Chains A and B, each alone.
Chain A
Amino acid sequence: MRLTTTTTLVATIIAALSLTTSYVHAEEFWSEQDVPIVPQTFKITNLLRTLDLSKPIIREITSAAVQNTHADQDQTHYYFPVDQAYSDNLAFISAENRKTKEVLEVVKDEEFFDAQFQYYKIKLATPLPPGEKVQITVRTSLTNLIRAFPTHVGQAEKQKFVFFGNPFALTAYPAVKQKTTVITPNNVLEVHEHPEEVDVVIKNNQVILGPYNDVNSLEHGIFEVQYELTGAIPHIRRLRREIEVSQWGNNLAVEEHYNFVNRGAELKGQFSRIDYQRNPMGIREGNGALGFQTKIPKLARDIYYRDEIGNISTSAIAHQPDHIQLMLKPRFPLFGGWNTTWYIGYNTPLDGYLRKIAGTDKHILKVPAISPMPDTTYEDVEIRVVLPEGAKNVKAVLPYEVDEIEYSTTKTYMDSAGRSTVTILASNLIEDHAQDLFIEYEFSQTSYLTKPLAAATMIMAIYATSIVFSRLDFKIGGSTLKK
């Protein structure tokens, strides 16, 4: 099902003009021959890569059978290269042993710096003796890589996306055999590739690239696929999540501020309510987002859903056995390119989140970093955790790398010294980052008394002043003169 060269060319040119930096990058290193700088101690005997394009966030699964080619050394680390051009797109990376399903530790490598590639160092569960084989699966999630093409569609039209990528799996080691499968949500519309000699097979919603034999390390080319993907492309420009711990009230107050945009193809012309109302369900929403779903704790109460001008009256709560499902409906359907903001909040008992280490003043707070929203990308995330007044030696531990962790103090209701606050700044997060973060702090029993004492002092002061004032005589020429 390959299309004629002319269409291919035209589409490629248009797409290339309209977008992408990755394309330019690809062009650049297409011309050079790259030699990996990591030690060449492995050989990939077989590699299978799956690129899942059925969701806005691209999931890449690379399963490689690797063999230690070093003469006598056991190998402890396997290197996985990622194109620097994609470094801002790579949201999540994890690795496991394919057979044992053991999760392997992945760290960003800083030893072998390369302007074009960022290596990730995967620690093998057990050192691999020479000549032995192991199967490693690396999963990566890539965000913001697909572009709507055409860029504008009508209200009920289907939107199409274009994805550019490497037809070869990028490896730091030569591969004897490798194959890539691209999965799209619907039938593939068009595929173009370069160099043209690579084998492409299109099967309904799958594109199979390869298998290729004896592929060099860091081999790359370009392929492009256009496909239909209906529905909104949810993107949170900014998320501010505020968590306030009250040990007095045994309460955890959570408030989340969202700044949302639908990154799908923009609406052609204007919105027509009559067309929207006349079209049957399923067609009317087109590529608009009609609502969002998020999970909040089962015991949450005082749930609210508002924006800058007040309560948003359209939302629903569903109690599930282990959580509350929050169905948030924005004021208006969010078509491609449309924005909105909102914030939600709730209180929940602190019990499940805070643990005191017996015999010490040490407390450990365990809260999810973000509430997961499916298929949503988060551009900038700020998580603020406000601890009770009097908390000392605060330390935040996160399961993944973030941009910045700041420690400061916040003054709020009836505070004298202020509350210790942890601010965590992160970017490019996805659903997978909705893991627990841990905050350790010391909070002594006496700190419980600070607040009532402060309040009592305040009231005392008011009474004292009023006693003094009531005894003073402000009269001009008053009673003293008369006497």
Chain B
Amino acid sequence: MSTESSSTVARVLKPTILILIAIVAISSRLFSIIRFESVIHEFDPWFNYRTTQHLVKNGFYDFWNWFDEKSWYPLGRVVGGTVYPGIMVTSALIHNVLHFFNFPVDIRNVCVFLAPMFSGLTAFSAYLLTKELKDSSAGLLAAAFLGVAPGYISRSVAGSYDNEGIAIFLLVFTFYLWIKAVKTGSAFFGLLTALFYFYMVSAWGGYVFITNLVPLHAFTLLLMGRFSNRLYVSYSTFYAIGTLLSMQIPFVGFQPTRTSEHMAALGVFGLIQLYAFAELVRGYIPPKQFKTLLKGGVAAVAVISAVGLTLLSFSGVIAPFTGRFYSLYDTGYAKIHIPIIASVSEHQPTAWTSFFFDLQMLIFLFPAGVYLCFKELKDEHVFIILYSVFASYFAGVMVRLMLTLTPVVCVSAAIAYSTLLDTYLETSEHVLASTNSAIVATPAPAVIDTPTVAIPEAKAAGKKAAAKAAAAAAAAAKSNEADAKTHAKSISAASGEKKRFPIFNLDSRLLVILQLTWFLFMFAWHCTYVTSGSYSSPSIVLASRQHDGSQMIIDDFREAYYWLRKNTKEDAKVMSWWDYGYQMAGMANVTTLVDNNTWNNTHIATVGKAMSTSEEVSYKVLRQHDVDYVLILFGGVIGYSGDDINKFLWMIRIAEGVYPNDVKETNFFTPRGEYKVDHDATKTMRESLMYKMSYYRFAELYGGGNAVDHVRNARMPAEGPTLSVLEEAYTTENWLVRIYKVKDLDNLGRDLKDSTAFDKGRVRKVSSLKKK
């Protein structure tokens, strides 16, 4: 094997490996399709899907000006101005291109497969990024890691049609371009960075991470005294073009000039100009005068900018940080001030276990990779260090941000892993004799090239060594590694007593290599297990195993949504808790009061009030909002714990924040401070609309006695609640979704309670008289 031929092999192997990685990345995201069907998952994706459908059907301009009167009734929502349109435009573009070439692919399938397709691209960008940091073999490892890391799969399985699906690709690729721009000092790459930054801005609110990380990188380089024309050109190009482009997204608008989140980028932009100017001045005036000038200049700029920033902040020109950002700083903030943010599970702080769950062995290799970056510490390594520090912090604060951490973990881990492989597969005398630090400092040449050096020596060692080598080759599993090991062995046989570092003898090296390989197997196994078990459920369909092992599908959500879609009038208004808003709009095609957009806290609190107050109070709210149906989730029959009674406390809290006179959280707790639904439930609890809707005629299911709520393990009273302002309209097969129809006003002008009692043959007057 000559050097030339091996490099040819490498040239063919690399793309092949990358393509294989992309295929693995895509196919490991298809569990849900194979197990269930090609369907949109979760909640937010349903909104994205619905808007994409609108975009495909009505065109881009109509989408831009779309006022959605079917959500947030009666307020409506300006969709075009309140979305990140990136993902919708991407799918619509793919759809239209395919249709142009007469491939009548359904838009649903484009949406379902978008995230897996982009994950292939993400793996490729991880390769490019890592290649810039170390070499292409590390790049391949990084691509493979990112392709299957559960931390990223969690948001990019087929059907998970969410912004993150394309945003992570854009994040990694923008970072790659940025590093490339800094390395080359090319305005072209600066421009590309800006363009992809723009794409990222159009796709995900997480673009702020780039907006802050890139300036931070530039700033750190300045502090390290590493200012260069390369940095100046790349940052100036990126910032100027990127900011102008980002302002074209209506939802972003003038935020880059007016909000605190974007101020760092602007500040660094100014700073870098001043620094460049100072550098220029330094060239023309003597050092002594320059020092004075510098001191004065720095002081003046510092004072002016500090005063200016404070003034602008207080006068309101620059908006202060939003609640979501405060909650990144103080994890307890949201719980007290904005319960609506705290009520979302993905906004909770991350549990320690989930780091291992999502990243497995990468989490151990990650610090090692960062350490190796410190060893190298070129401009691009500074970037990775900064990225890892900040992403780690954010991932610790919010579960959702695990997603931004995953790429850097994969990259660092790949660097660490590849360095390990390089070290233990390296065969040349030079490395054998060198110290540990030297190994780290000089990245070894690509694995495939190394054996060529060793070949003549191996031959010299004679037939014995060759036979031994062959045996070793047979023992090793992977051909590539085996190759290297074969030669390593022959060298050790040849060099005999020359060895000075026993750690590099064959046995110990083989041990490490085997262990590393074993780790890789474990990693792949873990990733598959996690992906298949935890991240591939569409959540609109519940699957369970029956006693005989056959799969049973609980499809109650769609049963209810489809019933609403087909059997209620066109403009029916359906009230539900905001969680189901997007799904209802997408699947049931009804008008909703609140949805997952959560832009109007008061409106959500109003719904919370309607759910948590007594029938009389809530009937007024329902009538005021023209509500025709009320939809709730009830898991008591089959033990589905994500139901509305379990979310009820959040509804109460959010409602209390706006209507403290009507709703009081303490009234829902027993004197012993327990949240109970059985005999001990408080009067307020039992009279609340949510309680009544959930348990209406529930006890009858158990023939009157021993009714058990399987979620809360509560023994329910035999006499269930009665309803007078609502009537049961539809309950699904497993009682998971219950829909109630709001009664019209009584024809005879009676109170609805009286008329219901009258219809049931009871005269309420008597009982009310008795009370007196």
A270 touches B562 (CB 8 A): no
A331 touches B730 (CB 8 A): no
Binds A, one of B281-289, B426-434, B553-561: B553-561
A307 touches B103 (CB 8 A): no
Give complex CA distance A270, B739 in Å.
Answer: 10
Cβ of B693 to closest chain A Cβ, rounded Å = 13
> 1/0 per position for B693-724, CB-CB distance to A under 8 A?
00001001100000000000000000000000
At the interface, yes or no: B102 with Cβ under 8 Å from chain A? yes
Cβ of A469 to closest chain B Cβ, rounded Å = 18
Q: Which of B171-215 contact A (CB under 8 A)?
A: none
At the interface, yes or no: A272 with Cβ under 8 Å from chain B? yes
Give complex CA distance A331, B561 in Å.
Answer: 10
B730 touches A271 (CB 8 A): yes
Find the A residue at minimum CB distance from B734.
Answer: A273
Find the A residue at minimum CB distance from B556.
Answer: A331
A331 touches B558 (CB 8 A): yes
At the interface, yes or no: A415 with Cβ under 8 Å from chain B? yes
Binds A, one of B11-19, B79-87, B563-571: B563-571
Cβ of B699 to closest chain A Cβ, rounded Å = 10
How many chain B residues sit at the interface, stated as a range, is 20 to 34
Contact of A332 among B36, B586, B700, B730 (CB under 8 A): B730
| Contact status of A411 and B562, CB under 8 A, knowing A270-B728, A313-B541 | no
| Contact status of A340 and B731, CB under 8 A, knowing A331-B558, A331-B559 | no
Give complex CA distance A332, B566 in Å.
Answer: 11
A270 touches B730 (CB 8 A): yes
B563 touches A309 (CB 8 A): no
On chain A, the residues within 8 Å of B735 by CB distance are 273
A332 touches B562 (CB 8 A): yes
| Contact status of A332 and B37, CB under 8 A, knowing A270-B727, A270-B729 | no
> 1/0 per position for B329-357, CB-CB distance to A under 8 A?
00000000000000000000000000000
On chain A, the residues within 8 Å of B730 by CB distance are 270-271, 273, 332
Q: Which of A255-279 contact B (CB under 8 A)?
A: 269-274, 277-278
Give complex CA distance A307, B586 in Å.
Answer: 14
Cβ of A430 to closest chain B Cβ, rounded Å = 24
At the interface, yes or no: B104 with Cβ under 8 Å from chain A? yes
B701 touches A274 (CB 8 A): yes
Cβ of A447 to closest chain B Cβ, rounded Å = 17
B729 touches A271 (CB 8 A): yes
B587 touches A309 (CB 8 A): yes
Give complex CA distance A412, B102 in Å.
Answer: 5
| Contact status of A338 and B701, CB under 8 A, knowing A274-B731, A310-B39, A311-B37 | no
Cβ of B10 to closest chain A Cβ, rounded Å = 20
A339 touches B567 (CB 8 A): yes
On chain A, the residues within 8 Å of B102 by CB distance are 411-415
> 1/0 per position for A291-325, CB-CB distance to B under 8 A?
00000000000000001111111100000000000
B562 touches A307 (CB 8 A): yes
Find the B residue at minimum CB distance from A273.
Answer: B731
On chain B, the residues within 8 Å of A312 by CB distance are 555
At the interface, yes or no: A89 with Cβ under 8 Å from chain B? no
On chain B, the residues within 8 Å of A341 by CB distance are 566
| Contact status of A313 and B729, CB under 8 A, knowing A277-B701, A307-B562, A413-B104 | no
Find the A residue at minimum CB distance from B562.
Answer: A331
In the complex, which of the residues A278, A309, A313 has the most CB atoms of chain B within 10 Å of its own CB atom?
A309
Cβ of A375 to closest chain B Cβ, rounded Å = 21
Give complex CA distance A332, B586 in Å.
Answer: 19
Find the B residue at minimum CB distance from A338.
Answer: B567
| Contact status of A313 and B561, CB under 8 A, knowing A274-B701, A277-B701 | no
A313 touches B567 (CB 8 A): no
On chain B, the residues within 8 Å of A269 by CB distance are 727
Contact of A310 among B37, B697, B727 (CB under 8 A): B37
> 1/0 per position for A30-68, CB-CB distance to B under 8 A?
000000000000000000000000000000000000000
Q: Which of A349-371 contact B (CB under 8 A)?
A: none
At the interface, yes or no: B131 with Cβ under 8 Å from chain A? no
At the interface, yes or no: B54 with Cβ under 8 Å from chain A? no
| Contact status of A273 and B104, CB under 8 A, knowing A313-B541, A331-B559, A331-B563 | no
At the interface, yes or no: B732 with Cβ under 8 Å from chain A? yes
At the interface, yes or no: B741 with Cβ under 8 Å from chain A? yes
Give complex CA distance A341, B567 in Å.
Answer: 11
On chain A, the residues within 8 Å of B732 by CB distance are 273, 332
Give complex CA distance A313, B556 in Å.
Answer: 11
A274 touches B729 (CB 8 A): no
On chain A, the residues within 8 Å of B559 by CB distance are 331-332
Find the B residue at minimum CB distance from A278.
Answer: B700
Cβ of A402 to closest chain B Cβ, rounded Å = 26
A412 touches B565 (CB 8 A): no
Cβ of B289 to closest chain A Cβ, rounded Å = 38
B555 touches A313 (CB 8 A): yes
Give complex CA distance A331, B541 in Å.
Answer: 13
> 1/0 per position for B29-45, CB-CB distance to A under 8 A?
00000001111000000
Find the B residue at minimum CB distance from A270.
Answer: B729
Pairs A–B under 8 Å by Cβ, sample size 26: A270-B727, A270-B728, A270-B729, A270-B730, A271-B729, A271-B730, A272-B728, A274-B731, A277-B701, A278-B700, A308-B562, A308-B565, A309-B562, A310-B38, A312-B555, A313-B555, A331-B555, A331-B559, A332-B559, A332-B562, A332-B563, A339-B566, A340-B562, A340-B566, A412-B104, A413-B102
Closest 5 pairs (CB-CB, A-B): A273-B731, A311-B37, A310-B39, A313-B553, A331-B559
- Kindly list 20 other residue pairs between chains A and B, CB separation below 8 angstroms, not including A274-B701, A309-B586, A412-B102: A270-B727, A270-B729, A271-B731, A272-B731, A274-B700, A274-B731, A308-B565, A309-B558, A309-B587, A310-B39, A310-B558, A311-B36, A313-B555, A331-B562, A332-B559, A332-B563, A338-B567, A413-B103, A413-B104, A415-B102
